[in-house]
Amino acid sequence: MFSGDDFSVMLYVLASSVFLSDFADMLVRLYLRRQQTGGSDRGVGQGTSVPLAVGTFTPYQVQLHVRPFAVVASVHNAGAQIDRFLKAMEPLKAEMWFIDDRSTDDTADRIVAAGFRCLRAEVNRGKPGALRRLVESLPEDVASILVMDPDVRILTSMEDLRQIVFELQRTEMAALTPRVAAAGNGFLARIQQLEYWVACSLGRKSLGDFTITSGVALYRADALRRIYRQHSLSVYAEDFENALILLAANEKIYYDGRFVIETDAIDTIPRLFSQRVGWYFGLIRVYSQRWRSIWPRARRQPYFAYQYLLYTGALVLLLHPVKLFALAVLALSAANGIDNLLRLDQIPDHTVSNPLYFVVIYLQCLGLMLLTWVVGVGRHDRMRVLPIVPLYPIYALAHFVPATVGYLNWLTLRLWGRVVYRDHYQPAS
C-alpha cells in the first residue's frame, strides 16, 4: 500500500508547493513581526505592529485631549441583530451615527426609537456607497472615524478604546485595524477562531505600518474621505481596496491587538463557501485594478514589496494553478489510500496516485500548524483550538475550491458578463 517504488520526487515536490510556500511565508512573517515591532512585542494577541511613540498620558489627560471621533455603521434589513448591536453600542451613543441603506423592514425605526442618530438613504448603495454618504454628513470637527458592522461587538473596554483613538490621533497615521475574534462553539467556529488568530497575530501584525484594514477599522477622518473619493464602491473586498488606496498614497496603517472585536463565526459550510468565493473574487478584482498604484512604493520598501507583490501577486494569485495541480495530486493520493485501506480496488495504483504523497505532505503541514499554533494563538485560547489543529491542513487545502470559483467568477464576468457561481454578496436579481 505504501510502496516507495512508484514514488516520484518531482510529483512530491510539486504537491509540496502548498506546504513549501506556507512554510517560507511563516518564517518571513515571524522575522518581520519581530523587526516591525522593534523586538518589543508584548504577546501574540497584544500590542501594536509598530511602536507608538506618543508619550505617556493618564486616563484623565486622554479624556481631556482626545479630539472628537465618530462611530459609523451602515445597516440594511438588520432587524434580526440590530437590538443586540444597539445595546452593545450604548456606551458610544454620543459618537454613534447610523445610515439605513434603504431597508425594507423596521431597522431604521428601531434605531431611532433607541435614541441613536440615523440617516435614511433614498436608495440602496451597498456598504461603501452608504458610508460615503454618511461620512460626508459628519461634523467637520470629527478627527477620527471608526467604521463598524452591525454583526460585530467591541470586546475592548470603552476607556481603552478612547486611549486607542487618542493614540491614532497622536501618530497621525491613516488608520488602524483591530484583532478580529470569532464567536461560537461548533467545529466551524473553532476552526475560524484558529484562522482569525493566525491571520491577525502573524498576518497583520507582521506588516508594520502597511497592514491591511478589516471591515471594522479606525480611520483618520480625512483619510477615509480620500478613500471614498477614489473607491469603486463595490462591496467586494472593500476593506482591501481601502487599504490599497491609502498605501498607494504613502499613508500608514497599523495593527492594534489591544482593540478586539468579535463576530459570529459562520455556522454552515454552504454559507462559508459562499463567503470565501466572494472574498477571492474581491481579492483578484481589487488587485487587478490597483496593483500598479502600489508599484512605486514597492520599489522603495522591500518588506512592502514582499507582501503586496511577491506574496499577494505571485504566491497567492499567479501560483494558484500550480497549487491547484498540487491539490489534485493530494486528493488522488488520499483517495487511493482510502481505497487501499478498504480494499475497494477502484483506483489503480500508479505513480500519480501513490498514497505516500498525501501522508508525507499532511504530516509536514501538521508540523507547520503546530508551530503556527504556538507562535500565532494567544495562551488563553490555545487549548480551546488545539483539537482542531490536526484538521486545519485539510481546511486550508479545501480553500482552493472557493478560491478557484472566485477567480473563475472574475474571469467569466470580464469575458462574458456573467459568473459561474452566485455568492451571497451579489444582490438578488
Return d(Cα 211, Cα 173) in angstroms, integer: 12
- Mean confidence (pLDDT) of the chain: 93
The string of pLDDT tens digits covering residues 348-406 is 888 888 999 999 999 999 999 999 999 999 988 999 999 999 999 999 999 999 999 99
The string of pLDDT tens digits covering residues 63-89 is 899 999 999 999 999 988 999 999 999
pLDDT-above-70 percentage for the chain? 96
Report pLDDT for 7: 83
Q: Positive or negative CA dihedral for 239, 266, 332, 408?
A: negative
pLDDT above 80 (res 429): no
Question: Which residue spans within 223-377 are E strands per DSSP?
Answer: 253-264
DSSP string of 67-105, one letter each residue: PPEEEEEEESS-TTTHHHHHHHTGGGGGGEEEEE-S-SS
Question: Does residue 77 contact residue 105 with C-beta atoms inside 8 Å?
Answer: yes
pLDDT above 80 (res 4): no
Report pLDDT for 417: 94
Q: How confident is the model over 9-16, as a mean pLDDT?
A: 90
Going along the chain from its start, the domains and CATH numbers come out as 42-267 (3.90.550.10)
User: Whole-model pTM?
Assistant: 0.94
Report pLDDT for 79: 86
Report pLDDT for 80: 83
Element (H or E) spanning 194, and its range? helix 187-198
**Whose grid coordinates read 431611532?**
112
pLDDT above 60 (res 2): no
The string of pLDDT tens digits covering residues 80-120 is 899 999 999 999 999 999 999 999 999 999 999 999 999 99
The string of pLDDT tens digits covering residues 183-219 is 999 999 999 999 999 999 999 999 999 999 999 999 9
Question: Does residue 106 contact residue 32 with C-beta atoms inside 8 Å?
Answer: no
Return d(Cα 199, Cα 178) in angstroms, integer: 11
Report pLDDT for 78: 92
The string of pLDDT tens digits covering residues 289-330 is 999 999 999 999 999 999 999 999 999 999 999 999 999 999
Q: Where does the pLDDT of residue 428 fall: very low under 50, low under 70, confident under 90, or very high at 90 and above? A: low
Q: How far is residue 53 CA from its own chain's centroid? A: 27
